[in-house]
């Protein structure tokens, strides 16, 4: 398949498929398509269905196939941000935030990713369960806000505010670090913990987590007495 990403701040990935070629997407992600695209909804077994549900996605996924000739299908972002594109290869797994999955080649696999350290799971901003992708082909992820990436060397670390870690190579590790100083913890406005990401591997940051966006909007919504 070939594709292009257009539009900001609500981007859309427009994919062109050869006859018989398929693409997998999160349920409800399709925005428009040519009339010869055929949809099939699959769960992939109880284990995979529960895994997707626990990691923030729908239990079911849709597979679209171009029938009788080349086809076109578009997948749009649901929030202001970017669509992150990764060409997956054997031996390079990607770990991403909950609900990041938008679409992929059928040869890309999806599974739950459990934080090995309970502290990182409960306090690190992404929850105990994340998403892990492997295999080959194209992977498209939804990013909240703008996307910034860094390449971490072995043992090199970065501290990330809650929710700003969008994705990372699976070779990276996650832990939490308590904000130093009682005054900083109580008055600094940055919360009690930061996420610590350690290389080697690439990490991708997002500038406006959906939770931050919701909080900013909520301040302007009058409360009901």
Contact by Cβ (8 Å): 166, 205: yes
Residue at token pair 């390079």 = 92
Give the confidence band of 161 by pLDDT, cuts at 50, 70, 90. Answer: confident
pTM greater than the 0.85 cutoff: no
Q: Are strands 81-88 and 71-76 parallel, antiparallel or unpaired?
A: unpaired
- As a whole number of angstroms, the distance between CA 179 and CA 212 comes to 19
Residues with Cβ within 8 Å of 72's Cβ and at least 6 positions away in sequence, in order, are 14, 15, 16, 17, 33, 34, 37
Which of 198, 117, 110, 111 has its CA nearest to residue 152?
A: 198
Mean pLDDT of the chain: 82
Q: Which whole number is the average pLDDT over 10-29?
A: 94
- Check the CA dihedral 86-92-93-97 and report its sign: negative
Does residue 32 sit in helix, strand or coil? strand
Q: What is the pLDDT of residues 45-72, one digit of tens each?
A: 444 545 545 545 556 789 999 999 999 9
Fold that domain 2-218 belongs to in CATH: Double-stranded beta-helix (3.60.160)
Q: Are strands 165-169 and 157-160 parallel, antiparallel or unpaired?
A: unpaired
Residue spans of the domains in the chain: they are: 2-218
Which of 27, 28, 6, 26 has its CA nearest to residue 16?
A: 6
Which of 31-35, 127-131, 175-179 has the largest mean confidence? 31-35
| DSSP-assigned beta bridge partners for residue 62 | 25, 41
Q: What is the pLDDT of residues 106-134, one digit of tens each?
A: 999 988 876 655 444 444 444 457 889 99
Q: How far is CA 139 from the centre of its chain?
A: 10
């Amino acid at each position: 398949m070939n594709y292009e990403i257009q539009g900001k701040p609500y981007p859309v990935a427009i994919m062109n498929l050869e006859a018989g070629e398929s693409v997998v997407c999160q349920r409800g992600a399709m925005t428009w398509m040519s009339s010869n695209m055929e949809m099939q909804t699959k769960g992939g077994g109880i284990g995979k269905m529960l895994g997707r549900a626990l990691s923030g996605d729908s239990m079911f996924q849709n597979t679209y196939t171009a029938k009788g000739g080349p086809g076109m299908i578009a997948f749009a972002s649901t929030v202001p941000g970017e669509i992150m594109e990764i060409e997956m290869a054997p031996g390079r797994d990607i770990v991403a935030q909950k609900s990041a999955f938008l679409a992929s080649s059928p040869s890309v696999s999806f599974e739950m990713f459990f934080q090995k350290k309970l502290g990182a799971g409960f306090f690190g901003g992404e929850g105990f369960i994340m998403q892990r992708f492997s295999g080959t082909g194209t992977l498209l992820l939804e990013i909240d806000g703008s996307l910034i990436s860094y390449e971490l060397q072995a043992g090199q670390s970065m501290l990330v505010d809650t929710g700003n870690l969008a994705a990372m190579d699976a070779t990276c590790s996650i832990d939490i670090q308590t904000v130093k100083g009682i005054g900083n913890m109580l008055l600094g406005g940055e919360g009690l913990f930061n996420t610590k990401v350690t290389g080697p591997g690439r990490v991708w940051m997002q500038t406006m987590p959906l939770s931050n966006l919701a909080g900013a909007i909520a301040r302007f919504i009058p409360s009901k007495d």
